[in-house]
Amino acid sequence: MSAGAGEDTAARRVRGRFITFEGGEGSGKTPQSARLVDWLSARGIAVRRTREPGGTPGAEAIRDLVVKGADGRWSALAETLLMFAARDDHLRQVIRPALEAGEWVVCDRFVDSTIAYQGYGRGLGRAAVDDIAAVVVGDTRPDLTLILDLPPSVGLARAAARRGTETRFESLDRTFHDRLRAGFLEIAAAEPDRCAVVDAGAGDTDAIFAAVSRIVAEKLFEEQSGDG
């Protein structure tokens, strides 16, 4: 016999899954994450789509400070702290409550972007980013990270074609973008269970989404059925 209804629900409520998309400029994260949310919803999963920096009013205000304006307006450390200030707000107000309620969260960018952009790209180093992440992020780590990989020349051309006012990082030189690509690939190599690299340079959106959805099904649905 089951226990009381409330107890039964609490016992059955499992933490939602946390999926992040990462990649350089023009890598196509935004359309891919939108499609993944539709695909998960169509399978009956409660899912929330969000982004970084952003996702709450406060974090969106910080986003304006970091993605707009002159390249030299922040030191590498100040830029990193702004990313983490936005992330702290986002984690407290959106990500952790959603996961605890059993919702899945699909987020455009997370800590790996700070490691790649500020750690590798700006040259702050990985150790400083990891130390701050230990305090701000703690255990709230993604279950799966999809790294959309493509040559910076291709991504920057795509980004330039849809250029708006958020150009601070796009305007950096090619060596910056080469460093951050290398950074993402190192992250993936170090954590192969969490990270999957998707070739986003070749193929159309449908072909790339076919790869994305296959990885999500393999990594998260099989694990889920294994949970009982």
For residue 53, is the peptide bond before it cis, meaning its omega torsion is within 30 degrees of 0? yes
The CB-of-227 to ligand TMP minimum distance in angstroms stands at 30
Nearer to ligand TMP, 101 or 157 (CB): 157
For ligand TMP, the closer CB: 40 or 136: 136
Shortest separation between residue 184's beta carbon and ligand TMP, angstroms: 12
Give, for 13, the enclosing helix (H) or strand (E): none
Cβ of residue 143: shortest distance to ligand TMP, in angstroms? 18
Residues 6+ apart with CB under 8 A from 95: 18, 50, 55, 105, 107, 140
Count of beta carbons in the 10 Å neighbourhood of residue 16: 20
Nearer to ligand TMP, 42 or 161 (CB): 161
CB 2 within 8 A of CB 8: yes
Q: Of 98 and 124, which CB lies nearer to ligand TMP in the complex structure?
A: 124
Report the residue number, 53 or 183, with the smaller CB distance to ligand TMP.
53
Strand order in the sheet with 18-23: 47-51, 104-108, 18-23, 144-149, 195-199
86 or 98: whose CB is closer to ligand TMP? 86
Closer of 17 and 87 to ligand TMP (Cβ): 87
Closest approach, Cβ 218 to ligand TMP, in A, equals 25
Q: Give the footprint of ligand TMP on this chain (CB under 6 A).
A: 25, 29, 52-53, 67, 83, 108-109, 113-114, 117-118, 169
- Token pair recorded at residue 104: 């899945």
| Shortest spacing between CB 50 and ligand TMP, in angstroms | 11
Smallest gap from residue 206 Cβ to ligand TMP (A): 21
Q: Which residue has the tokens 């986002």?
A: 90
DSSP structure class, residue 28? -
| Shortest Cβ 16–ligand TMP spacing (Å) | 21
